[in-house]
Structure 1
Amino acid sequence: MSATPTHCPYCSLQCGMKVQRKGRAGIEVAAWEQFPVNEGALCRKGWTAGELRGTRERLTTPLVRDRATGELRAAGWDEALDLVAGRITALQAEHGKDTVAVFGGGGLTNEKSYQLGKFARVALGTSQVDYNGRWCMSSAASAGNQAFGIDRGLPFPLADVEQADVVVLVGSNMAETMPPAARHLDRLRERGGKVVVVDPRLTPTGERADLFLQPVPGTDLALALGVLHLLDAQGAVDEEYVARRTTGFEEVRRSVAAWWPERVERTTGIATDELRALVDLLAGSERVVVLTARGAEQHAQGTATVLAWINVALALGMPGKPYAGYGCLTGQGNGQGGREHGQKADQLPGYRMIDDPAARAHVAAVWGVDPDSLPGKGRSAYELLDSLGDGGGPRALLVLGSNIVVSAPNATHVTQRLESLDLLVVCDIVMSETAALADVVLPITQWAEESGTMTNLEGRVILRQRAVAPPDGVRSDLDVIAGLAERLGSPVPFSTDPQEVFAELGRASAGGKADYSGITWERIAAEQGVFWPCPAVADGEQPHPGTPRLFADSFATPDGRARFLVTEFAGAAEQPDPAYPLHLTTGRVLAQYQSGAQTRRIRSLPDEGAFVEMHPMLADRIGAHDGAPVVVRTRRGEMKAPARVVPTIRPDTVFVPFHWVGANRLTNDALDPSSRMPEFKVCAADVLV
C-alpha cells in the first residue's frame, strides 16, 4: 500500500512524514527523508501522531445540550446546524451583529483560517473574531512589523543557522519543543560555532549551550539593553551598516547608555563577567543569529523585549546578511499562516489591515461584497474572552481549533465567561475541556483526514495531503462554515473544496505583505514548499521563485531601512512580595503539545501529569520533597501537583507545564500594549506543602 507524503500535526516545523493505513481503521507514520526541514527525523509526538485516529474518545456525531436535563445528547448534522443558525439569527436580531464572536486557532490550515475570517465578516457581519495565535507569536509579529515592516518568523530557512558563528536563543527550549530542529545546533557546534541559551531553567537546550545565562524571569529586555550598551562601549557596532540600512540608532544609543553591567546584574541576576562573555562572543563573530521564542515574548513587555534583541542584531549589522540576522521560532503548527489571512481582529487576508480603505476594497472585490459592509477592528483574543456573556460583550461564541479552558490566562475567570454565554459552539475531534462546556459540539476531521496548506516557521507554504477518509459522521471545518453560512443567508457562497479556497486566498492576498498569489498546490508538491512572498506574474513570464531569504537588499518599510526603536524596561507586571515571594513561569514538556487535547490521548506518549519544578534550596526552605504534593498559588488561583526538585532552575522561580488544567488558572492576564499578548511567562507566586 502506497504512503501519502504529508506533514506532522503539531509544531511549526511541520516536519515531513509519510502516512499509510494500518489495519481496518488505523494509520501509521513513516519517514519522509527527502523533505528538507527535518530530513526524515521526527520527535516522539510525530512518530505516534497516527494513534490519535484510533482513540475511543474520538467524536463522530454532533452533540446538542438538552435544555431539560443539561446533558449533551447525539443529534444529526441538520438539527445541530439549524439550531446554531437559528439561535445566532435570534441573538443578532435582538442584540446586533457583534453579539456573536468567533475564536480560531493557530493550528488551522490556511484555507480554514481564511474562510473563518471571511465567515465572520461576511456571513455573520461581526467584528468579534480573533484566535489563540494571539497568545503564541504576536509580540514577535508586532516587533517585526515595526522594525522590518513585515512579520515572517524566520526571514531565512532554518538550516541557515548551521552556518552561523553564534546563535543566541532567548527563551527557547528547542530540544524539547521542536527536537528535530535541535540538530542544527549540533551541526553548528561541529563546525566550531557557538550556542548561547538564555533561560531561567537549564533545559536540554541549555545543556547544548557553550554559554548559558539564567536571568530572573521577565528580565530578557534588560539583558538586551545591557548587551547593546557594551557593544557600543566596545566599538563593536557596525556603523557603516547602521548608517546605510537603518534609522533611529542615535536615539537607541542614548537610551541604553545607563544600562551599565552592574545595573544589568542587579536587574537580571546575570553576573557582569557572563554578560561581558556574551558581548565578546558577539563582537568577535562575523555571522550572528538571534532567535527569540515564547520565553521572551509572552510578557506584558514582550514586543519591547523582541525589539530590544532586534536592536542588538541591527547594531551588529546582521539582518539581511547571509547566515545571520534575527528570527522568531514560531510555536503552533500554522502559527505563521494562521495570522496572515484574516482570523485576527485587525487583519484581512495577505496581512492587510482591516482599517485600511484600500485593503478593504481589494478584499471586498474578491469576496463580491461592498467594502462598507465589512465590519471594523474587533477585540483581541483575551479582551474578547474577558467581555463574553455577562461581561458586556458577545453572547454567543463559535470556537474552532482551540481549547480555551486550558490555554487562556487567568483561566478560571475565562471559564466563568464561557459559562455565562447564551450559546457556545465548539468544533473538535475529542471532548476537550472547552467542548465539555458547549451547547453544541461538532465533530470535525483531523490532520490525516483532510488536505490543506500550512505555513511553517520559515514562511514555507507546505501541503498536508489527505491520507485516509474520516470516520462516518465527521465533517471538515470548511463544511461546517459553509453549512452555517448558507443557513445564515450569506450574500456569497462558501466553498468546501480546500484547493478552491486556497486559490481564492491567493487572489485576496495578492499585493499584500503575505502575497500567496503565485503559489499553487501543484508548485508546493513539486518544490517541497514555496516561500512567501510569491506574487503572481503575467501570462508567459517565468513564475516567481518565492522568497526563502528576506532583507538582502532592503527592508519592507517605505524607505527600505530597518527601524531601531527605543525600548524602556519596566519589569514584570506583577512583582514578588512577602505574600507571593516567588516567580512562576510556565512552558512545555517533550511528550505533550499545547493544551494536550490530542497528546494526552495517545497511549504511547508518557502522561505524568502536571508537576511543580523547584530548586533544592526552595524545597528545603518550605519542607517540600521530590514527588510529594505541593500547592502553588497566585492572586488568581491555586493548583496542587507533585514537586519535582531539580538543581537546574533558579532558586527564586518555580515552573509548571501548561498542558493540563491548572497552570493557566495561575497566570497573569496583563497584556502587552502593542501585541495584546498576555503575560503567561511570569507572575508572583507562593508554594506551600
Structure 2
Amino acid sequence: MTKVLGNGLRFEEQDSSANLLHSQCPFCSVQCTMQILEKTEGERKTYKVAPTQNSTSNGRLCIKGLNAHQHAYHPERLQYPLLKADGKFVRVSWKEALEFIKENFFNIQKGNGCDSIGVYGSGSLTNEEAYLLGKFARVALKTKYIDYNGRFCMSAAASAMNDAFGMDRGLTNKITEIPYTSCIILAGTNIAECQPTIWPYFHQAKQNGAFIIVIDPRETATSKLADLHLKVKPGTDAALANGFLKVIFEEGYVDQVFVDQKTEGFAELKAHMNHIQLEEIEALTDIPAEKIRLAARQYATAPTGMIFTARGVEQQTNGYLTVRNFINLVLVTGKIGKFGCGFGAITGQANGQGGREHGQKADQLPGYRSIVHPEHRKYIAKVWGIDEKDLPGKGVSAFEMMQKIAKKEILGLFVMGSNPVMSNPNALFVEKALKSLQCLIVVDTFLSETAQLADLVLPSSGYLEDEGTMTNFEGRVTWRPAKKELPNEVKHDWQILCEIAKVLGKGTYFSFSSPEEIFEELRLASKGGKADYYGITYDRLRRERVYWPCPSIGHPGTGRLFEQAFAHPDGKARLMAVENKYPKESISENYPLYLTTGRVLPHYLTGVQTRRSPALAARYTESFIEIHPKTAKKYKIEPNVLVKIESARGSAVARSKYSLKIREDTVFVPIHWGRKQNINQITTDDLDPVCKMPGFKVCAVKIRPMVNLEKSV
C-alpha cells in the first residue's frame, strides 16, 4: 500500500509531453483517488501512478489501484460493436447494432409481453448510469425484470439494516471514529486484503487499546491483528451471535434504558434467550464457551464498540438472520448513534451502495424508495413524466432471473457491466440458461465470459474515460473525473442507454447530454427518499465527499445516523429473535468438506479487469485451493498439484496450497477465474428466503488429486 505525503500531489503538469489524469480507483468500495501521469517517449508511452488525498483513505492506494490503468490501456479492450454471425463476432456499425436491438426486442415483446425482456446491471456503474439503467428498464422497455450483481454483495445486510434500523447505509457512523473505538468485532470480513487502504484505521484502534475480535473459519491478514480469533464452523455465525447474546442477558450487560426507549421486540428476544444453551452453541460452532464469554464481555463492557460484517456471514442462505443477530448485539448494548459506536456492512463493489439506492434492484426506485409503495410510485412517475399505472411492479432477484430464463419466461436479456455466467452460483446452469435466450446483449469493456455468449456486444468506457459519481462504503458520495479520450467507437454506458431508448421510441425520456445532467434528475428523484441526494451537487462534490442523507443545499450531510431516532416511523429499531439456523446444504459421506469462497488481494470479482493487468495477474496466475495439510494427506493431495473439487452441481479445478490457517473440515477457493477454474460451477443455488442471497460461503464438496491435466486449465 502506497502512502502519499504532503498535500497529496506527486506530479506537476509541466511537461508538454505528459498528460495528467485525475481519477479514482474502479475497484473496491473505498474509492481511493489518484493521479496518472501519461508520458510519450518516442513511440512508447509510460505511466506513473500516485495516490491523492481524500477524506476516506487519507491518500493511500493499494496494489490494485496502482495498477488499474493497465487494463484501461489493454489491447484487448473492446473498441467496436460486435455482432455474432455463424458463431463468430464480426464488427458492425452502431447504427446496425441499434437496429438489431430494436428489431429483436420489439419482436420478443410483441409476442410475449414487456416482461419477456430482462435487465441485469452492475455495482460498478456510476450512480448516474445505475439510475438511468433502472429508468431504462421501466420506461424504455417497460419490464419489471431488473436486478444487478450487487444482489450477491450486500443484499443480506441491506435487508437486515432496513428491517432493523429502517434504513440501509454501509456505515452508520463516521470511518474516522474507528481509531477511538474500544472494542471491534469483525465478522466474516477480511478488510486487510479486500479494503486495505482503510486497514490503518483498525491499526490505530489497536494502538489505542481496542480489543479486536475476528470471526472467520480461516486465519487471514485481518485475523493477525485480532486479540481473539474465533475460527467458527462455516454457516454457524448466527448461532455464535446467539451465544454472545446469551452471555449479555445472563450476566446483566443489557443497556435497559436504551432498549426501553429506542427498540421494539425486546421481550421476545429475552424469552428466546431463555431457550439458548451455551453448551449447545459451543457444540454447534466449535468455539469453546469460555471464548464466547470472553468475546461477549469484551464487547458488552467496552465504553464504545463497533461491529462490521461482510460477505463471510452475509453470503449464506441464512445471511439475513445472521446480520439481524449481530445487529441485535449492537442494539441490546446501546452501541449505536453515538461517537465510536455503530454497525457497518463493508460493501464489496465500487458502487454497490449507490447501485441499489437508485433503481437497479428489483424492488427499489430512486432514493431507496419502494416500487410497491403507492406514494413512492407516484412521486417517481411524476419525475419521469409517465403515468403511474405504466410503471412496472416488483421483479425478482438476480439468480431468480436466471431461473426464469431457463423456464422461457424471460427470452431476451440486456447485461451492462456484469459477468453473470461467472458471478452467479451453479454457473453451469446459468451458462445453459443464457445460451437458450433468443437475444443476449452485453455491454462491457472486455469480451468477458458472458460477453462471449452474446448475440451482440457493445463497447463501453472505462473508469478513466467515464465521469460520474459513486457512493462509497461509508455512504459518502464521491465525484470521479475523467479526462482520457474514448478509444475508437467506444461509448459511455449512459450514452448507450440513451441511444437505445431513442430507437425504441422513448428518446424524450432520455435526452441527456452529460453525467451532470443525469445527476440533476437523480437529485430530484431521490428528494425526500431515505437515500436523499438533493443537497448534493457536482460543484460541491468537486470539493468534498458528502454523506447522504443530504436533504438540502447547504446541509452538511449526515455522518452519524440514528443519533436521535431510527428511520422507522415510530423512531425505534427492531430487535428480532433468531433461531440457530444452518445452511441448507450440509456435509455428508459423499461430500465431506465445507467449501468457502472469497477474494485475494490482487484480484477483483470475476477478474475480467484485474486478469488483464500484467502486474496483478503475475501475482496469482491461476486459482488455488487452500487446504489444511492433515486434510490433504487424508485425500492423498500433494502440495502444488491440480485438485478436482466436486459438488452435487458440477466440478472445478484448482492448484493445491497447504495452509495451517484453515479448519481441517474446510477448503477455500478464490472467485476470480473462469472456465474450469470457475468455482461457482459448484456453489449452491439455494437462496436466503428473505434477501435471495445465494449460499456462496457454505457448500458441501469432495476433492481428489488430478494427473496429467496441467495443460488443460
User: TM-score band, normalised by the shorter chain?
Assistant: over 0.9
Pick the aligned partner of 2:339 from 290, 309, 322. Answer: 322
Shift of 1:525: 1.3
Matches within 5 A, 1:638-649: 638-649=651-662
Cα contact 1:19–1:27 (8 A) shared by 2: no
Deviation string, structure 1 residues 606-648 (Cα, Å, up to 9, x no partner): 2321111111110111111110111110011111221111000
| Structure 2 equivalent of residue 179 of structure 1 | 196
Matching residue within 521, 546, 559 for 1:530: 546
Give yes or no for contact 1:17–1:29 (8 Å, CA) kept in 2: no
Aligned to 2:687: 671
1:152 matches 2:163: no
Deviations 1:88-107, CA, capped at 9 Å, x for gaps = 01111111101111000011
Query: For 1:436-515, what aligned pairs fall within 5 Å after superposition?
Result: 436-490=452-506, 492-494=508-510, 495-515=512-532
CA distance in 2, matches of 1:519, 1:260: 50
The residue aligned with 2:235 is 218
Q: Aligned letter for 2:349?
A: Q
**SS of alignment partner, residue 617 of structure 1:** helix
Which one-letter code corresponds to 1:596 in the other structure?
A: G
From 21, 25, 30, give the equivalent of 2:38: 21
Please say if 1:596 is aligned against 2:603.
no
Q: Which residue of 1 aligns with 2:305?
A: 288
Query: After the TM superposition, which residues 379-458 of structure 1 pair with which residues of structure 2 at under 5 Å, given as runs?
Result: 379-388=396-405, 390-458=406-474
Look up the match of 2:61.
42
Indicate which of 338, 349, 358 corresponds to 2:355. Answer: 338
Cα distance between partner residues in 2 of 1:268 and 1:516: 42
SS in structure 2 at match of 1:447: coil
Report if aligned partners of 1:5, 1:32 keep a CA contact under 8 Å in 2.
no
After superposition, give the CA deviation of every residue in 1:535-591 in whole Å (9 maximum; x if it has no partner): 135xxxxx1111111011111011111110121122011001100111110000011
Structure-2 residue corresponding to 1:202: 219
Number of the residue aligned with 1:540: none
Q: 1:167 to 1:29 in 2, by over 3 A?
A: farther
Report the CA distance shift for 1:25/1:513 in structure 2 as closer, same or farther (over 3 A): farther
Q: CA deviation at 1:688?
A: 1.3
How far did residue 22 of structure 1 move?
3.5
Q: Matched residues in 2 for 1:125 and 1:282: separation? A: 49
C-alpha distance in 2 between matches for 1:26 and 1:515: 43
SS at match of 2:664: coil
Uncovered stretches (5+) of structure 1, i.e. residues with no partner: 538-542
Contact 2:171-2:342 within 8 A present in 1 as well: no
Task: Spell out, residue by residue over 1:327-379, the C-alpha distance to the aligned partner (whole angstroms, 9 max, x if none).
Answer: 11111000100000011111110000111111111111111111111110111
Q: How far apart, CA to CA, are the structure 1 residues paired with 2:463 and 2:490?
A: 13
Deviation at 1:161, TM superposition (A): 1.2
> How far did 1:258 drift?
2.6
Equivalent residue for 1:55? 74
Tell me what 1:685 maps to: 701
Partner Cα distance (1:21, 1:563) in 2? 53
Report if aligned partners of 2:183, 2:212 keep a CA contact under 8 Å in 1.
yes
Amino acid at match of 1:417: A
Query: Is the contact between residue 236 and residue 581 of structure 2 (CA under 8 Å) also seen in structure 1?
Result: no
Instruction: Give 1:649 shift.
Output: 0.2
- Tell me the amino acid that sits aligned with residue 677 of structure 1: M
SS at match of 1:449: coil
Distance (whole Å) between structure 1 residues aligned to residue 71 and residue 134 of structure 2:
28
Q: Matched residue of 2:464: which SS?
A: helix
How far off is 1:29 after superposition? 5.5
Q: Shift in Å at residue 257 of structure 1? A: 2.5
Counterparts of residues 100-115 of structure 1 (less than 5 Å): 100-115=117-132
What is the deviation of 1:493?
2.9
Instruction: State the alpha-carbon separation in 2 of the partners of residues 225 and 22 from structure 1.
Output: 58
On the 8 A contact 1:214/1:270 being kept in 2, the answer is yes
2:461–2:492 contact (8 Å) kept in structure 1: yes
Aligned to 2:670: 657
In the TM superposition, residue 30 of structure 1 has moved relative to its aligned partner by: 3.5
Pick from 305, 319, 325: which aligns with 1:302?
Answer: 319
- For residues 222 and 170 of structure 2, the distance between their equivalents in structure 1, rounded to whole angstroms, comes to 20
Report SS of the residue matched to 2:587.
coil
Distance in 2 (CA, whole Å) between partners of 1:31 and 1:329 is: 25
| CA root-mean-square deviation | 1.3
Partner of 2:643: 630
- Distance (whole Å) between structure 2 residues aligned to residue 566 and residue 19 of structure 1: 51
Which among 621, 624, 638 is matched to residue 608 of structure 1? 621
Provide closer, same or farther for how the CA distance between residues 94 and 26 of structure 1 changes in structure 2, counting only shifts above 3 A.
farther
Provide the secondary structure at the position in 2 that maps to 1:684.
Answer: strand
Q: Please report how far the alpha carbon of residue 48 of structure 1 lies from its aligned counterpart in structure 2 after TM superposition.
A: 0.4
Deviation, 1:27, is 7.5
Which string of whole-angstrom CA distances, capped at 9 and with x for unpartnered residues, describes residues 199-229 of structure 1?
Answer: 0000111111111000011110000011001
The answer (yes or no) to whether the contact 2:687–2:693 under 8 Å persists in 1 is yes
Residue of structure 2 aligned with 1:247, choices 264, 276, 288: 264
**Which residue of the other structure, out of 555, 575, 582, is the alignment partner of 2:593?**
582
The counterpart of 2:95, out of the listed 62, 78, 100, is 78
TM-fit CA distance, 1:31: 3.4
- Normalising by structure 2, we get a TM-score of 0.94
Contact 1:230 1:260 in 2 (8 A): no
Alpha-carbon displacement from aligned partner over 1:178-217 (angstroms, at most 9, x marks no partner): 1111111111111111211100000111111111000011
Q: Is the 8 A contact 2:134 2:358 kept in 1?
A: yes
CA contact (8 A) 1:576 1:685 kept: yes
Letter of the 2:380 counterpart: V
SS of equivalent to 1:448: coil
1: CA distance, partners of 2:49 / 2:637: 44
Shift of 1:479: 1.1
- Distance change >3 Å, CA 665–CA 502, structure 1 → 2: same
Mapped partners of 2:574, 2:454: distance in 1: 46
| CA distance in structure 1 between the partners assigned to 2:552 and 2:301 by the alignment | 42
Residue 559 of structure 2: aligned partner: 548
1: CA distance, partners of 2:39 / 2:268: 62
CA distance in 2, matches of 1:239, 1:570: 27
Could you tell me how far apart the structure 1 residues matched to 2:44 and 2:80 are? 17
CA distance in 2, matches of 1:25, 1:129: 44
Shift of 1:496: 4.0
2:308/2:346 contact within 8 Å kept: yes
Number of aligned positions between the proteins: 680
1:157 deviates by 2.1
Q: Secondary structure at the match of 2:184?
A: strand
Maintained 8 Å contact 1:409/1:666: yes
Q: Which runs of 5+ in 2 are unaligned?
A: 1-11, 14-19, 706-713
Over 3 Å counting, the alpha-carbon distance change for 1:650 and 1:584 in structure 2 is same
**1:558 matched to which residue of 2?**
569
Contact 1:26 1:50 in 2 (8 A): no
What residue identity is the alignment partner of 1:440? L
Kindly indicate whether the alpha-carbon contact (under 8 Å) linking 1:669 and 1:678 is maintained by their aligned counterparts in 2.
yes
Scaled by the length of structure 1, the TM-score of the pair is: 0.97
Q: Is the 8 A contact 2:72 2:463 kept in 1?
A: no
